[in-house]
Amino acid sequence: MRLAYLCNLYPAVSHSFVRREIEAIENAGHQVHRFSLRPARADLKDEADLREARVTEAVLGNGIARLVMSALALIVSRPDKSAAALVAAYRLSAPGLRSRIRHLAYWLEAAWLLRRLQQLNVQHMHAHFGTNPAAVAAIVHAWGGPPFSFTAHGPDEFDAPVTLALPQKIGAARFVVAISSFGRSQLMRWSRSGDWAKIKVIGCGVDADDLAVDPEPPDAGSTEFVCVARLSAQKGLPLLIAACERLRDARHQFTLTIIGDGELRSALEADIDRRGLQGHVRLAGICSGREIRENLVRARAFVLPSFAEGLPVVIMEALAQGRPVIATAVAGIP
């Protein structure tokens, strides 16, 4: 088949599971065209991500003028479908002017994407995340584009299912993917019982390199802990830093390396300084897959204090390296 994959941001450091999924689908003999709503960030380090960036088309990289021209061309060539797509965008939006304007922007993005999919003769489109990628895919389909499906990872979709029009997206999709049984239960909760059969559980995979050799057991003398997480409120990192202060005050020998970046970086740096943990806790920023693997191999255990999750791929990566995982009992983690 000729397939298209759509993400909000691809490739991305935290979306290696999408890359692995695309590689597996291509190895099965299908052709996959990659689309990202936003252009990839400049801080990519993995060569595999850099290769993906070279073959990924960014919708918003075309500029607003080309998006508007695409919409005008479709209005002329298929006025009825253009009106149906506009109605779909309206129904997917939440009450309020801001959401209406945002979904009008999705309608413009869908116009350019539909014309590009037609050029490529794409037969099916799959979106990762039930947020704006699924909305754009649904609008493309309403405009006469190919059928679509999407993967809902959580927790965003489960935090605001009504605002994100999750029931409508599930109803319009050919099928929907959950990455865990917990995720499927949440999708079932917010969809009609008649749509439950189309909700499938397909777990995210880990790199074959992680499974190629038997992992070495952790060094019993290691006092290193590793956390790999986006520096955001969902990940509960201030809780982990507070726990480190208690360990330090109890005179335990340890170090914690936090790998990742995000909007809370400056606040976490200030918290580490305020608690005097500079010699114990290090914010390593964005690292390549090889660097993450090296940190896991050195670690005594992997730690993830998330408040909300879907099912973190990094936990499976740590387990593949034979490292114990200390985590909060939320979502699909248990």
The DSSP secondary structure of 16-35, one letter per residue, reads HHHHHHHHHHHHTT-EEEEE
In a domain, 150, yes or no: yes
151 is in which domain, residue-wise?
A: 2-201
In a domain, 332, yes or no: no
Q: Are residues 310 and 263 in the same domain?
A: yes
For residue 228, give the nearest of 292, 156, 299 by alpha carbon: 292
In a domain, 334, yes or no: no
Predicted local distance difference test score (pLDDT) of residue 45: 79
**Position 190, amino acid:** W
In a domain, 266, yes or no: yes
Place of tokens 């965008």: 89
Place of tokens 């990519």: 44
- Report yes or no: 190 and 152 within 8 Å, Cβ to Cβ: no
For residue 216, give the nearest of 284, 310, 297 by alpha carbon: 297
Two tokens, residue 119? 């050029």
Q: Where are the alpha helices (DSSP H) in the chain?
A: 16-27, 47-54, 64-77, 79-92, 97-120, 132-142, 156-159, 166-172, 181-189, 208-211, 237-249, 265-274, 289-298, 313-320
Which of 149, 178, 201 marks a domain boundary? 201
Q: Are residues 192 and 283 in the same domain?
A: no
Q: What are the φ and ψ backbone dihedral angles of 258, each rounded to 5 degrees?
A: -105, 115
Predicted local distance difference test score (pLDDT) of residue 248: 96
Predicted local distance difference test score (pLDDT) of residue 42: 83
Two tokens, residue 64? 């607003």
Q: Are residues 7 and 121 in the same domain?
A: yes
pLDDT tier at 216, thresholds 50, 70, 90: confident
- Report yes or no: 195 and 171 within 8 Å, Cβ to Cβ: yes
pLDDT tier at 22, thresholds 50, 70, 90: very high
Q: Are residues 157 and 290 in the same domain?
A: no
Largest CA distance in the chain: 73
C-alpha–C-alpha distance, residues 126 and 34, integer Å: 10
Q: What is the CATH number of the domain that holds 266?
A: 3.40.50.2000
Average pLDDT of the residues of the chain: 94
Predicted local distance difference test score (pLDDT) of residue 328: 95
In angstroms, the Cα distances linking 224 to 139, 280, 282, 302 are: 48, 9, 11, 9
User: 221: how many CB neighbours lie within 10 A of its CB?
Assistant: 6
Which of 201, 229, 251 marks a domain boundary? 201
The number of domains in the chain is: 2
Q: Are residues 189 and 299 in the same domain?
A: no
Q: Are residues 217 and 142 in the same domain?
A: no
Which of 181, 201, 221 marks a domain boundary? 201
Q: Are residues 6 and 92 in the same domain?
A: yes
In a domain, 18, yes or no: yes
Round the CA-based radius of gyration of the chain to a whole number and report it: 22
Q: Are residues 19 and 160 in the same domain?
A: yes
Predicted local distance difference test score (pLDDT) of residue 15: 85
For residue 25, give the nearest of 149, 195, 157 by alpha carbon: 149
Give me the sign of the Cα torsion angle 158, 264, 58, 291: negative
Q: What is the mean pLDDT of residues 130-147?
A: 98
Q: Are residues 24 and 133 in the same domain?
A: yes
In a domain, 333, yes or no: no
Q: Which distant-in-sequence residues (6+ apart) come within 8 Å of 223 by Cβ?
A: 252, 253, 254, 255, 300
Query: Which region holds residue 286: left if phi is over 0, alpha if psi is between -120 and 50, else beta?
Result: beta
In a domain, 270, yes or no: yes
Predicted local distance difference test score (pLDDT) of residue 46: 82
Two tokens, residue 287? 């690292």
Place of tokens 């979306």: 15
Q: Are residues 251 and 123 in the same domain?
A: no
pTM for this model (two decimals): 0.89
Q: Are residues 264 and 304 in the same domain?
A: yes
208: pLDDT strictly greater than 80:
no
Q: Are residues 161 and 279 in the same domain?
A: no
Peptide bond into 11 cis (omega under 30): yes
In a domain, 249, yes or no: yes
